[in-house]
Amino acid sequence: MSSDSTLSSALADALRAAGASTVLLPADAGFREELRVFNLHTRHDPDVVVAARSAEDVAAALRVAQEREVPVTALGLGHGVLADTEGGIAISTRGLASVQLDLDDRVVRVGAGTPWKEVVETVTPHGLAVLCGSSPEVGVVGYVLGGGMGPIARSYGFTADHIRSIEIVTPADGLVVASADSNPELFWALRGGGKLGFGVVTAVTLHAFPIETIYGGGLFYGTEDVKAVLDAFSSWSAALPVTASASIAIMNLPPLPELPEPLRGRYVAHLRFASVDDADEAEEVLAPMRAVATPLIDAVGVLPYSQIGLIHNDPTEPMPGNEGGMLLTSLRQETIDTLYSVFGPGAQLPLVGIEIRTLGGRLAEQPLEPNAVSGRDAAYSVFVLGAPVPELLDTAVPQAIGAVFAALEPWRADELLINFVGRANGPDVLDRVWRPEVVERLHALRRAADPNGILAGPRAGVLTR
């Protein structure tokens, strides 16, 4: 046995002695399964995994980590990991997955490790909707800790604006509930700033809304129409009513057989639209975009909320990725021209696509209980996804994403959305997500919750502050 594995075994023994129910070492069956991620470019190599089944398991792991000064990583479902894990204790939250709907209060308590689709499946038979993101595969807790901006976000705001309470185990205080009445400062920080590493969240309770259907879906436009559609999107999106949300993605689609034939191997624009208005009103709002060109595919109509994932049609199978995000103050004709000159048809950049989401509406308003969500003053979010080619992800892809951002620099807004940044944003990304005074407030609260800095957070750099 190497000294490393002797140390890991001693750590595992200490965790079991402290009461952690399922402790796994690299040689144990189930170790790799607990580290499963959506983004296959992530490398999680902890010494030990605590597969949490309860808040007590989490508390035991944090006690041992504090005593032994061992770093801890909280694992969600791996859609937005900003740094690899090397050594230490990883606390997997998959075993905490649960969904409890309270119909009287119209709230749903969701255990960590639960994907949105399980919550959507629970609430929609009751005529209710939850503010999930574009992909129902994404983990609820990671999503909410980063704010959460979904397909109907302009009408309802960030998902973090509709949280009743958060259950979290912190190194300083053990299991605490953060809500408007209990630990309000922590409640402010976790909703939007929660990925900085305050503790391990075990459950969130969020509001559900009486929405059965929306008017929404996607329109795909062929290569020759992309520029005209982008031109129209810049003015149309700026005038959207608060009842409507929209985004557009320009994509170089691979020639995959699972894609509809007209899209295979083509450079296309994908307009995503969702309105919470009546179908007639919504159709009228969308009409100018339908009139720009004849879409290759028009899949917009009345949609049961249970099918919300069809609006964006995000990939559901794990793949390697690197990505980056930026916020814009406006989307002018010049911005579109610039974007098109950088990533037009035939562009040789190793990118899958560039997505532009329209902000504003309720996203611009602080909720009644203010929170740490950033980016409320920005007008658009830009998200750039690199080609899923492992050998390009650390070099050519970040360079290409950097080139897109450099071109868009004249319209750059302050702040970033943490759920839309990636490794391509660079190592100091966290300091640029919020305004400096908000960063300071978050770090002061984080230091109170984790005085010894054992929670690595998304970046080791978090620990130095």
Ligand X SMILES: Cc1cc2nc3c(=O)[nH]c(=O)nc-3n(C[C@H](O)[C@H](O)[C@H](O)COP(=O)(O)OP(=O)(O)OC[C@H]3O[C@@H](n4cnc5c(N)ncnc54)[C@H](O)[C@@H]3O)c2cc1C
Binding site for ligand X (CB under 6 A): 38, 73-81, 93, 112, 133-135, 138-139, 141-143, 145-150, 195, 200-201, 314, 419, 458
Comparison of 143 and 215: residue with beta carbon closer to ligand X: 143
Comparison of 300 and 373: residue with beta carbon closer to ligand X: 373
Q: How many CB atoms lie within 10 A of CB 457?
A: 23
Comparison of 121 and 314: residue with beta carbon closer to ligand X: 314
> Residue 404: what residue type?
V
Comparison of 124 and 245: residue with beta carbon closer to ligand X: 245
- Shortest Å, Cβ 350 to ligand X: 18
Place of tokens 């979290």: 168
- Shortest Å, Cβ 225 to ligand X: 25
* The 267-275 sheet, strands edge to edge: 297-304, 213-221, 267-275, 244-252, 351-358, 380-386, 323-328
Rounded Cα distance between 416 and 374, Å, is 7
Rounded Cα distance between 97 and 93, Å, is 7
- Shortest Å, Cβ 353 to ligand X: 12
- Shortest Å, Cβ 195 to ligand X: 4
10 HSE (CA, 13 A, CB side)? 9
- Shortest Å, Cβ 341 to ligand X: 27
Here the tokens at position 425 are 């944003």
Comparison of 208 and 292: residue with beta carbon closer to ligand X: 208
- Shortest Å, Cβ 78 to ligand X: 4
Comparison of 292 and 356: residue with beta carbon closer to ligand X: 356
Q: Which residues pair with 385 in a beta bridge?
A: 323, 353
Closest CA to 164 of 190, 126, 146, 198: 190
Here the tokens at position 331 are 């989307």
- Shortest Å, Cβ 79 to ligand X: 3
Rounded Cα distance between 296 and 293, Å, is 9
Rounded Cα distance between 97 and 229, Å, is 42
Comparison of 138 and 349: residue with beta carbon closer to ligand X: 138
Is residue 112 within 8 A of residue 202, CB to CB? The reply is yes
What DSSP element (H or E) covers 170?
A: strand 163-170
